Amino acid sequence: MNRWFVRGVILVSAVGLMPATLMAQDGNVDQAREALARQEGDADATKQLEEVFQAAEKNYSLQKKGTHSLNYSFDYSYTGDQRLDLEISDGSVRNLDVVPSATHNFTNAFSYDYGLLDNLTVGTRIPLVVKYDTEDELNVYDFGDISLTGRWQPFAYVPGKMSTTFFGTLNTKTGVS
């Protein structure tokens, strides 16, 4: 066969297939446009802006309004010392006695906080105290001094920046300190 003939057949078949390929590409472009078009459930810019503004609302690091919290804490302290008892008569030490003494304090405390507002939290602390003194052999089981607290955050919390919180405590002389 002639080379020119083979080249001609290839050229005619390529030109004949070209419109079909272009039409198929036009169909693919239309399908792509339909796929990328906004669907019913897609988020639009309005919804995205609304989410951003909601995230930027005032945020505080205290208890949220109407929420409660109850905490338990346990404290132990030990104080030890030695007392010298001296008896001096006629300018000389007649009797020298070293008296060791130790005091153990155990405190079980319950703290309750309530979010009055998003930026205002009030609370109370009720301690239950046990004291034991080895020298006097004194045991005390009683309520401790009840305290009332208030925390106020005047400005919203911004991550990465220092937050300002005013804190006040009123200690009442209601029990064993």
Digit-coded pLDDT (tens) for 157-174: 877 888 899 999 999 998
Q: How many domains does the chain have?
A: 1
Confidence of residue 43 (pLDDT cuts 50, 70, 90): low
Ranking 38-47, 65-74, 117-126, 147-156 by mean pLDDT, the lowest is 38-47
- Of 153, 151, 155, nearest to 169 by C-alpha is 151
Specify which residues 149 forms β-bridges with.
123, 169
Give 177's Cβ-side CA count (13 Å radius).
Answer: 5
At residue 58, the pLDDT reads 73
Q: Alpha-carbon distance 27 to 25, whole Å?
A: 5
> Is residue 23 over pLDDT 70?
no
For residue 167, CA distances in Å to 50, 147, 151, 152, 155 come to 34, 13, 5, 7, 14
For residue 106, CA distances in Å to 13, 141, 142, 174 come to 99, 10, 11, 17
Q: Is residue 142 part of a domain?
A: yes
Q: Is residue 18 part of a domain?
A: no
Answer for the pair 175, 146: CB distance below 8 angstroms, yes or no: yes
Average pLDDT score, the chain: 80
Specify which residues 73 forms β-bridges with.
109
Q: Alpha-carbon distance 8 to 20, whole Å?
A: 19
Q: How far is CA 27 from the centre of its chain?
A: 55
Q: Is residue 147 part of a domain?
A: yes
Give me the phi and psi of 36, to 5 degrees please: -85, -10
Q: With a threshold of 0.85, does the pTM exceed it?
A: no
At residue 87, the pLDDT reads 78
Confidence of residue 138 (pLDDT cuts 50, 70, 90): confident
Q: Is residue 86 part of a domain?
A: no
Average pLDDT for 108-114: 96
- The residue range of the domain holding 158 is 68-77+107-171
Q: Is residue 28 part of a domain?
A: no
Q: % helix / strand / coil in the chain, to the nearest 5?
A: 25, 45, 30
Contacts of 79 (CB under 8 A, 6+ apart): 102, 103, 105
pLDDT > 90 in the chain, percent? 31
Q: And the tokens for 160? A: 């990465």
The DSSP symbol for 26 reads: H
At residue 149, the pLDDT reads 97
